[in-house]
């Protein structure tokens, strides 16, 4: 309820946000929720059902955030709720092994051939951080390569911007991160093959691993080109570096086998060395994982010298939720239907924009999509930030007013669930047609 000291003026969302700002930094527990990028007051959500969010004022929104990816079945799927209720009756946390942890890992391994073993953790940040440590422990090297615009969580070594050139390693992008912590992290331009080759020529014998989002979802939706990904795999092989796929967002979202299965279809035999998962595999609960072939994973404690641990890792409620979700999305035809629905949305947005004389490009894979108010799809972070953020913000608020909840930032991808049907897509496109008409050129 609203803080009793807050004046009655303004909406209930305004009141709740004012109360939250007094006791929570920025009023939110994860920065993008604060609407700082788009302006205005964030909506405080009371409940969700299917493809819809309902805020504290009772307004309904078609949901394209999906808890930032996990809700691939939509909110409140009966099989998932039943699994969670049953697990709750057995206890919340044990700090000891459970059979369901093994079942969940086996369900992941069944769909991801590049992995022999998997370690469960509680967040994508934790999984990415652990994968970096494992790569360093397995290779005996310190250097890590990442790409501008790719986000791998808020671990110190990954909060880094590019140095002054390829001979220079990174600088922190967050206060509180010592320069020494990121001195071994090299930041390159996404989809730049020439720069990638030069970096390996200069630093190849020092690089432990290269971490990449195969389809970047944190600069909206930008996919790695086939030439870029093929060359990256070749260079890692040649120089003995480990290729780390961050599939926290894409894993079990763009395809049943993740983005790596999409690239394997185009490049037979293609596999990463280490894979990082989250979001969908937890079904909405705090759960993530990292995995690799057996020889790499056996370097982890208690078998090897690379230490990693977690009190709530493999939590019995989270594993029940994740396992129920994975069982549902493994049903025949699930991803064909999801991908078709997502394409229907993106194609409809393109058509609505064209009719209004507004430039728009879009792309999708499985249940992940993105669009830009520009005629051509950006290929890297520099091109993304050159797009018109002010026009996007106007579009975002126009859509929000019409009951469509897009990500409140230009730099975030969108998510479609199995609960999005014709009615939800048509409501979205009707709102888009009105919203595009307001943009003008």
Angle at 127 (CA atoms; ends 82, 193), nearest 5 degrees: 125
The alpha carbon of residue 81 and the mean position of all alpha carbons in its chain are separated, in whole angstroms, by: 23
What gap in Å lies between CA 416 and CA 174, rounded to an integer?
32
In the chain, what are the domains? Answer: 12-64+332-439 (3.90.1150.10), 78-329 (3.40.640.10)
CA–CA distance from 132 to each of 104, 184, 384, 424 (Å)?
23, 12, 27, 40
DSSP string, 297-365: HTTBTTTSSB----TTTT-HHHHHHHHHHHHHHTSTTHHHHHHHHHHHHHHHHHHHHHHTT---EEEEE
Residue 222 sits at the vertex; the CA angle it makes with 327 and 332, to the nearest 5 degrees, is 20
Q: Which residue from 159, 164, 152 is spatially nearest to 176, judged by alpha carbons?
A: 159
Can you give the pLDDT of all 441 residues of the chain as single tens digits?
444 334 445 899 999 999 999 999 999 999 999 999 999 999 999 999 999 999 999 999 999 999 999 999 999 999 999 999 999 999 999 999 999 999 999 999 999 999 999 999 999 999 999 999 999 999 999 999 999 999 999 888 888 875 545 555 566 788 888 887 788 899 999 999 999 999 999 999 999 999 999 999 999 999 999 999 999 999 999 999 999 999 999 999 999 999 999 999 999 999 999 999 999 999 999 999 999 999 999 999 999 999 999 999 999 999 999 999 999 999 999 999 999 999 999 999 999 999 999 999 999 999 999 999 999 999 999 999 999 899 999 999 999 999 999 999 988 999 999 999 999 999 999 999 999 999 865
Q: What is the C-alpha to C-alpha distance for residues 285 and 282, in angstroms, rounded to an integer? A: 5
Annotated catalytic, 59? no
State the catalytic residue, choosing from 61, 151, 263, 381. 151
27: its two tokens: 């009023």
Whether 263 and 95 have beta carbons less than 8 Å apart is answered as: no
Cis, bond preceding 356 (omega within 30 deg of 0): no
E strand or H helix at 209: strand 207-212
Query: Residue 175 carries which DSSP code?
Result: T
- Return the biggest CA–CA distance within the chain: 66
Pairing of strands 242-247, 274-277: parallel
Q: Which of 190, 273, 279, 411 is catalytic?
A: 279
Catalytic residue among 246, 263, 405, 411: 246
Q: Could you tell me the CA-to-CA distances from 393 to 217, 295, 363 in Å, in that order? A: 18, 48, 20
Instruction: Say whether 307 is catalytic.
Output: no
- Cβ 385 vs Cβ 16: under 8 Å: no
| Cα gap 280→305, rounded to integer Å | 30
H helix or E strand, kind and range, residue 48 = strand 45-49
pLDDT score of 162: 56
264 vs 271: CA distance, rounded Å: 7
What local confidence, expressed as pLDDT, does residue 169 receive?
56
Catalytic: 279? yes
pLDDT of residue 441: 54
In the three-class reduction of DSSP (H, G, I as helix; E, B as strand; rest coil), residue 408 is classed as coil
Neighbours of 308 (CB within 10 A): 18
Q: Cα separation of 417 and 279, whole Å?
A: 13
């Amino acid at each position: 309820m609203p803080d009793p000291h807050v004046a009655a003026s303004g909406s209930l969302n305004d009141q709740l946000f004012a109360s939250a700002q007094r006791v929570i930094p920025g009023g939110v527990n994860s920065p993008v929720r604060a609407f700082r990028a788009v302006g205005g007051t964030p909506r405080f959500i009371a409940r969700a059902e299917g493809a819809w969010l309902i805020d504290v004022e009772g307004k309904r929104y078609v949901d394209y955030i999906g808890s930032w990816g996990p809700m691939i079945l939509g909110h409140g799927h009966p099989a998932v709720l039943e699994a969670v209720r049953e697990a709750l009756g057995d206890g919340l946390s044990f700090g000891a092994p459970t059979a369901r942890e093994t079942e969940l890992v086996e369900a992941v391994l069944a769909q991801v051939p590049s992995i022999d073993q998997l370690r469960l953790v509680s967040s994508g940040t934790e999984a990415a951080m652990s994968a970096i440590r494992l790569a360093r422990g397995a290779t005996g090297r310190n250097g890590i390569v990442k790409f501008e615009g790719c986000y791998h969580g808020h671990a110190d070594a990954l909060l880094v911007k590019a140095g002054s050139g390829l001979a220079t390693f990174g600088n922190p992008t967050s206060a509180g991160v010592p320069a020494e912590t990121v001195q071994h992290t090299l930041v390159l331009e996404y989809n730049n093959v020439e720069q990638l080759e030069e970096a390996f020529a200069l630093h190849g014998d020092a690089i432990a691993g290269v971490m990449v989002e195969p389809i970047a979802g944190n600069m909206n939706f930008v996919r790695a080109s086939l030439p870029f990904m093929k060359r990256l795999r070749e260079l890692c092989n040649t120089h003995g570096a480990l290729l780390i796929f961050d599939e926290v967002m894409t894993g079990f979202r763009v395809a049943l086998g993740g983005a790596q299965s999409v690239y394997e279809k185009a490049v037979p035999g293609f596999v990463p060395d280490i894979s990082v998962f989250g979001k969908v595999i937890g079904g909405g609960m705090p759960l993530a994982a990292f995995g690799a072939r057996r020889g790499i994973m056996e370097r982890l404690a208690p078998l090897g010298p690379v230490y990693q641990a977690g009190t709530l890792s493999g939590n019995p409620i989270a594993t029940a939720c994740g396992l129920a979700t994975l069982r549902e999305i493994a049903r025949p035809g699930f991803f064909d239907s999801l991908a078709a629905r997502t394409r229907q949305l993106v194609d409809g947005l393109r058509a609505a924009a064209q009719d209004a004389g507004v430039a728009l490009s879009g792309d999708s894979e499985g249940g992940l999509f993105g669009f830009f108010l520009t005629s051509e799809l950006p290929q890297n972070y520099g091109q993304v930030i050159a797009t018109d953020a002010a026009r996007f913000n106007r579009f975002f608020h126009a859509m929000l007013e019409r009951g469509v909840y897009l990500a409140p930032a230009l730099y975030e991808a969108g998510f479609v669930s199995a609960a999005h049907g014709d009615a939800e897509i048509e409501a979205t496109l009707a709102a888009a047609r009105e919203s595009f008409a307001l943009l003008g050129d």
